[in-house]
A and B are shown apart, each in its own frame.
Chain A
């Protein structure tokens, strides 16, 4: 195998592994659920991203054809990570906060979890 390709793949693998580990360690180290939420949504996403880049370079080099599966997995994880984070944050807020402990909204209506949306 070409040395340059091997170096690039190895760098992506090491970077991905480090970020994945940092994401999981942050899940244990940080205090409070809402702080822990920051770690996996960011670090783990880039961790998997690094592994995906490495594997797509590796298999493109091995077989000579580009595989779209890695692109699809990367796209899917990038699109869904914010949504899961948002849902988990809502679960946390519902269990641990009420109107008084959250900052006020700038408009006339309260936060969506407490108030109904205005009828249009």
Chain B
């Protein structure tokens, strides 16, 4: 039963990843593209966690943790670049 649920969750987040990719390509605003990138990062974190459960070993948790941090910093950096034309003032 857990395997079925795991496959279902992986399918959901994979479809979500593709859908956000579409928004990233199409998005009329820069804000839309940043939002799509941020959502992709969150989806990828979820996929990494699910892959750990699939393997049954917690080897990739550090990767998920690092991605959570780097994703946040990159989103803020993009936004500041568009807002001020500069990242560190």
Direct contact of A and B (CB under 8 A): yes
Also in contact, A25 and B68, with CB within 8 A (given A40-B42, A44-B39) = no
Chain A residues touching B, majority SS:
helix
CA distance A84 to B30 in the complex (A): 14
Contact B19 A25 (CB under 8 A): yes
Across the A-B interface, how many residue pairs have beta carbons closer than 8 Å?
168
For chain A, which range describes its interface: under 10, 10 to 19, 20 to 34, or 35 or more residues? 35 or more
**A23-B16, A27-B35, A83-B76 known; A55+B2 contact, CB < 8 A:** no
With A62-B56, A77-B68 as contacts: A36 and B32 at CB distance below 8 Å: yes
Are A55 and B53 within 8 A (Cβ)?
yes
Number of interface residues of B (CB under 8 A): 52
Asked whether A58 and B43 contact (CB < 8 A) given A17-B9, A91-B30, the answer is no
**Which residues of B have CB within 8 Å of A69?**
58, 61-62, 64-65
CB neighbors of B among A95-119 (8 A): 95-96
B20 touches A27 (CB 8 A): yes
- Give me the interface of A with B, judged by CB distance under 8 Å: 1, 6-7, 9-11, 13-14, 16-18, 20-21, 23-25, 27-28, 33, 36-37, 40, 44-45, 47-48, 51-52, 54-55, 58-59, 62-63, 67, 69-70, 72-73, 76-77, 80, 83-84, 87-92, 94-96
B2 touches A87 (CB 8 A): no
Closest to B40 in A: A24
Q: CB within 8 Å of A: which of B50-71?
A: 50, 52-53, 56, 58, 61-62, 64-65, 68-69
